[in-house]
Amino acid sequence: MKHQHSPRYTRAEERANSLTHGVGTVLAVIGLIVLIVCANLYGTTRHVVSCSVFGAALILLYLISTLYHAVFHQQAKALLRILDHSAILVLIAGTYTPITLVNLQGVWGWWLFAVIWTLAIVGIVIETTRLRRYRKVMIGLYVSMGWAVVVAVRPMLHNFGHGGLWLLLAGGLAYTGGIVFYLWHRLPYNHAIWHLFVLAGSILHYFAILFYVIP
């Protein structure tokens, strides 16, 4: 397997990359505030904490991504690239947190929660080593973590509802579909297009949690 080197983008492309996730950062901050307020009003401490983890993970991913694409200093960019890819793992685990701890609970909830966060930690460790060069392996890890929910479809239908599950699946399809553009390096502004798919996936998952996790 060949090593995957950092893709080269033009300054205009990097501005577009930074702008798209800059918008995501603003939306994530607003979204976290709304989640905390609603969880405080209608939920329990478990709702507040788990939804805060999800909202904070959103902010982390979009803020780091914005900074990564905004800077051109090579050493700073290399560090931010590691943080950027690690933040993807944190967001996947953060998205599962309110669903597993509030809706599923029990054996399924705690088992899925433990597996996803363990995989996230393993992935972050990999990102700090030379193994991170094998991007296709890491992409496989992202996708596997993201779709791990399929092993719990029945309890999800019972505890999360059809509407919530459809939003969750639609968000997963948005994230997964965007990978085509992420890997399409010859397409101008491919990464900015990928960012739009990520935004769509985050928005769909956000509403799944807002409407189907918080009572």
Residues annotated in the binding site, as ranges?
69, 191, 195
With contact defined as beta carbons under 8 Å apart, do 211 and 164 qualify? yes
Q: How far apart are CA 169 and CA 112, in angstroms?
A: 17
Q: Judge residue 1's burial from the number of C-beta atoms within 10 Å of its C-beta, 0-12 exposed, 13-18 middle, 19 or more buried.
A: exposed
Residues annotated in the binding site for Zn(2+), as ranges?
69, 191, 195
Whole-number Cα distances in Å, 206 to 83, 100, 141, 182: 22, 15, 22, 22
Backbone phi, then psi, for 147, in 5-degree steps?
A: -100, 10
Q: How far apart are CA 192 and CA 90, in angstroms?
A: 21
Of residues 92, 78, 165, the one with CA closest to residue 127: 78
Angle at 59 between CA 56 and CA 65, to 5 degrees: 140
**What is the phi-psi region of residue 105: left when phi exceeds 0, alpha when psi lies from -120 to 50, beta otherwise?**
left
